[in-house]
Amino acid sequence: MLDFLAEEKGKVRFCKGRTRRDFLQVGALGALGLSLPQYLAAKQASGVKPGSDEKACIMIFNLGGPSHIDLWDMKPGAPAEIRGPFKPIRTKSPDIDISEILPLHAKVADKFSLVRSCHHDGAAVHDAGWQIMQTGRRFTGGVNTPHAGAAISYLMGRKTDLPPFVVLPELMGRGGGNLPNGQAGGFLGKAHDPFALMADPSEKDFKVPDLLPPDQIAGLRLNRRKTMRDIVDGTVKAFEASEDARLMDENFHAAYRLMTSQQARDAFDLSKEPMWVRERYGMNRFGQCCLLALRLVDAGVRFVTINTFLTVFNEITWDIHGSKPFTSIEGMKNIVAPMYDQGYTALLEDLDQRGMLDNTLVANLCEFGRTPRVNPAGGRDHWPQCFTVSFAGGGVKGGRVIGASDPIGATPAERPVEPGDVVATVFHSMGLNLETHLPGPSGRPFPLVDFGRDPIKELFV
């Protein structure tokens, strides 16, 4: 078994005195799950504009698909079966009206801007929307495009002992379509998969978990039934001279730094926050993840994704079909919206008060909106044809509305925005050169954003 805590003269040693070099000699390239078969010379061209090193992004993914008509794009003049039961209220921004079930949003509306004309042509199933909204593309031809955070991990690397890309509280679960959800490194390889917390920070007994994912820890265990003589063979020298060996070397040290870093453990330790601060975010999973995201960004993590929920099955989410096992409009009003309202607004206020908002983009995304017409169960169904996303910080000017939907919220009427534009907006805020190419499948250069996809520039001027 590996002993990460033993170190002598800068060398990592294993139990029985074996060194990291011995570990590499076993040819265990996949031991950390970090192989990059398409690791290209493009690694040397970062595609990052000067002065971007302090940029960060917190992506809140509203898993389940919130109802734009009941929250951010209300239609008070439409018939009752369209407008729903809620009324709009005025906000701190003269240009934004918002739902009465988000009263705290109204107080910080000068800090965020809404894009009311987002749409996509993907299937109206959750995981199809998760995939396209987090990567900017639909997966076709067996090509899994990397998450926006994975691309940033590849292009910008880590700043500290902490991973560059973290998902809270854990990766998305099932979405019903049996599709990849896009929350991974894709063709960039497992080295750029996110670090997932795999714990609920709102639990009373929450402790900082092992800072290496369990599957990677398991992969680092040597098979006791084999001796080093059995494992090492004539391919050792060839392996050590390969690009894969160099990657193994880099990622071994990255994993070691993470596991042994006091800085990393402190960043994940919510007990260091006063209880009144924690309570202001809400003592629930989403609220505590918002506070944890703030701490991680402050400690040097470049990209944090918060999944508001983990699956649409067997829990109350934004998925308001109106009947069990899904959420009713009342459930959204009484449970989901208050939780979200409290955690999101506390995050924006604290980023602003700590002087971090200008350099930290908060992107509020979702897989789709909800049907304009209320269904017979009193809920709304899936609707990718038109929905609202929002942005704050990271150079975004708050208090604005970009685009518009038609009178019933069914289709974009002004300034249509597609997923590729949304992801390009994230990259633009982070200071990436959108002309950059990634090392794609089979070694072919892969454009960071598709041709014709541009950031939503109206957010920044």
Within 284-437, residue ranges assigned H as helices are 285-299, 329-331, 337-353, 419-429
> What is the sign of the dihedral through the CA atoms of 92, 341, 79 and 404?
positive
Confidence at residue 260, expressed as pLDDT on a 0 to 100 scale: 74
The CATH number of 48-211+262-459, from 3.40.720.10, 3.30.1330.200, 3.40.190.10, 2.40.50.140, is 3.40.720.10
CB of 270 closer than 8 Å to CB of 291: yes
Confidence at residue 49, expressed as pLDDT on a 0 to 100 scale: 85
DSSP-assigned letter for residue 432 = B
Give how far Cα 232 sits from Cα of 2, 11, 36, 225, 228, Å: 17, 21, 22, 14, 6
Confidence at residue 30, expressed as pLDDT on a 0 to 100 scale: 35
The encoded tokens of residue 325 equal 């096992």
Confidence at residue 53, expressed as pLDDT on a 0 to 100 scale: 87
Confidence at residue 214, expressed as pLDDT on a 0 to 100 scale: 42
Confidence at residue 429, expressed as pLDDT on a 0 to 100 scale: 98
CB of 383 closer than 8 Å to CB of 369: yes
Confidence at residue 241, expressed as pLDDT on a 0 to 100 scale: 57
DSSP codes joined into one string, 207-266 = ----SS-HHHHHHT---TTS-HHHH--TTHHHHHTSHHHHHHHHHHHHHHHHHH-HHHHH
Sequence letter at residue 112: F
Confidence at residue 41, expressed as pLDDT on a 0 to 100 scale: 40
Which phi and psi angles does 58 have, rounded to 5°?
-115, 115
Q: Quick: pLDDT tens for 149-184.
A: 999 999 999 999 999 999 999 999 988 888 999 999
Q: Quick: pLDDT tens for 406-431.
A: 999 999 999 999 999 999 999 999 99
Per the DSSP assignment, residues forming a β-bridge with 8 are 11
Per-residue pLDDT of the chain (461 residues; tens, 9 = 90+): 333 333 333 444 344 443 333 333 333 333 333 333 333 344 335 588 887 889 999 999 999 999 999 999 999 999 999 999 999 999 999 999 999 999 999 999 999 999 999 999 999 999 999 999 999 999 998 899 999 999 999 999 999 999 999 999 999 998 888 899 999 999 999 999 999 999 999 998 887 766 544 444 444 443 443 444 454 444 445 545 555 555 555 556 666 667 778 888 899 999 999 999 999 999 999 999 999 999 999 999 999 999 999 999 888 999 999 988 899 999 999 999 999 999 999 999 999 999 999 999 999 999 999 999 999 999 999 999 999 999 999 999 999 999 999 999 999 999 999 999 999 999 999 999 999 999 999 889 999 999 999 999 999 99
CB of 187 closer than 8 Å to CB of 441: yes
CB of 449 closer than 8 Å to CB of 420: yes
Confidence at residue 43, expressed as pLDDT on a 0 to 100 scale: 39
Q: CA–CA separation, 410 vs 415, rounded Å? A: 14
**Which residues, 6 or more positions from 421, have their beta carbon under 8 angstroms from its beta carbon?**
453, 454, 455, 456
Hey, which bits of 62-120 come out as E strands?
A: 88-90, 97-99, 112-118
Confidence at residue 135, expressed as pLDDT on a 0 to 100 scale: 98
The CATH 3.40.720.10 domain(s) of the chain lie at 48-211+262-459
Q: What is the pTM of this model?
A: 0.84
Q: Is 433 exposed, middle or buried (0-12, 13-18, 19+ CB in 10 A)?
A: middle
CB of 395 closer than 8 Å to CB of 376: no
Confidence at residue 57, expressed as pLDDT on a 0 to 100 scale: 98
Per the DSSP assignment, residues forming a β-bridge with 363 are 59, 391
Which phi and psi angles does 65 have, rounded to 5°?
85, 85
The encoded tokens of residue 172 equal 């998305």
Q: CA–CA separation, 16 vs 332, rounded Å? A: 57
